[in-house]
């Protein structure tokens, strides 16, 4: 029984993947139409999955609140704000002023603050990296980051000096020649890795949809 179900899921996933993939290579009306239809279904399913994900999110935090696990007050606030936003959005629509206020004065500042926090975290991580991995690669990484900062940030004094121009030129050379070349090499490796990962799913060797 279990084997039967696994074979069916694998066959459906492989056939679907093959139709979509072949639609990219062969310009046949039948394949193109089928590819478009399957992608539309995938988008619809992904939207449905978002609702299930939100339900899952609620159930995780509801469990925490009901069992009074560590950090449960945060979960309670999350559930409260989730329900307030959901009710306002359902009753008055996403363009309602109250919903926009929540986005503008709660979500946006919090997300901007996290982005700002990233700058501080990265600076500290740079120092931490020196104590953690004292190798040539780390030193080159930090040296390149420092040079890029120096070459990009405005200089309070001596912005027109020959040193500032030299640093700017070095930064430009590094980002356009060294970094671009390195990034292309990395992207090539990533693309090869992504292809084999996709093919493993297509060959039903990796089955993220379960057995």
Partner 1 sequence: MSSTGTVGLGILLLFILLMLAFASLGRRWESTFRELPGLDALGNAIERAVESGKRVHLSLGTGSVSGTDSAPALAGLALLKRIAAITSMSDKPVVATTGDGAMALLAQDSLRTAYSDVGAKDRFESISGRMLGPTPYSYVATLPTMLDTEDVSVHLMVGSFGAESGLAADFGDRQHAMVLAGTDDVQSQALLYATAKYPLVGEEVFAVGAYLDVSPLHKASLRAQDVVRYLVVGAILAGALLHTLGIGL
Note the residues at the interface with partner 1 (CB under 8 A): 21, 24-27, 39, 42-43, 45-46, 49-54, 56-57, 59-60, 63-64, 69-71, 74, 78, 107, 110-111, 114-115, 117-118, 121-122, 124-126, 128-129, 132, 141, 145, 183, 185-190, 192-201, 203, 205-211
Nearer to partner 1, 78 or 164 (CB): 78
Q: To the nearest whole angstrom, how small is the minimum distance from the Cβ of residue 129 to partner 1?
A: 6
Nearer to partner 1, 130 or 159 (CB): 130
DSSP class of residue 133 equals -
Nearer to partner 1, 42 or 166 (CB): 42
Nearer to partner 1, 166 or 188 (CB): 188
3-state secondary structure of 69: coil
Q: To the nearest whole angstrom, how small is the minimum distance from the Cβ of residue 7 to partner 1?
A: 14
Q: To the nearest whole angstrom, how small is the minimum distance from the Cβ of residue 95 to partner 1?
A: 19
Q: To the nearest whole angstrom, how small is the minimum distance from the Cβ of residue 132 to partner 1?
A: 7
Nearer to partner 1, 163 or 183 (CB): 183
Q: Is 43 exposed, middle or buried (CB count within 10 Å of its CB: 0-12, 13-18, 19+)?
A: exposed
| Contact status, residue 9 vs residue 209, Cβ threshold 8 Å | yes
Long-range contacts of 203-206 (CB under 8 A, 24+ apart): 203/14, 204/10, 204/11, 204/13, 204/14
Question: What is the dihedral angle through the alpha carbons of 146, 147, 152, 157, rounded to the nearest 10 degrees?
Answer: 90
Q: To the nearest whole angstrom, how small is the minimum distance from the Cβ of residue 141 to partner 1?
A: 6
- Tokens encoding 74: 């945060």
Select from 53, 77, 62, 47 the least CA-distant residue to 85: 77
Give the residue carrying structure tokens 């139709």: 19
């Amino acid at each position: 029984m279990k084997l039967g179900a696994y074979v069916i899921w694998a066959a459906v996933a492989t056939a679907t993947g093959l139709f979509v993939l072949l639609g990219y290579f062969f310009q046949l009306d039948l394949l193109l139409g089928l590819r478009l239809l399957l992608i539309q279904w995938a988008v619809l399913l992904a939207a449905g999955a978002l609702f299930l994900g939100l339900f899952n999110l609620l159930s995780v935090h509801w469990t925490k609140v009901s069992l009074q696990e560590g950090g449960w007050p945060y979960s309670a606030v999350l559930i409260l704000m989730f329900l307030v936003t959901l009710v306002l959005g359902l009753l008055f629509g996403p363009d309602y002023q109250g919903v926009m206020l929540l986005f503008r004065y709660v979500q946006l500042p919090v997300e901007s603050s996290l982005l700002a926090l990233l700058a501080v975290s990265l600076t500290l991580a740079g120092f931490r990296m020196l104590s953690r991995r004292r190798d040539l690669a780390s030193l080159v990484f930090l040296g390149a980051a420092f040079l890029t900062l120096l070459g990009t940030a405005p200089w309070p004094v001596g912005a027109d000096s020959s040193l500032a121009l030299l640093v700017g030129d070095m930064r430009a050379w590094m980002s356009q020649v060294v970094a671009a070349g390195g990034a292309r090499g990395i992207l090539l490796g990533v693309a090869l890795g992504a292809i084999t990962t996709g093919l493993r799913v297509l060959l039903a060797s990796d089955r993220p949809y379960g057995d």
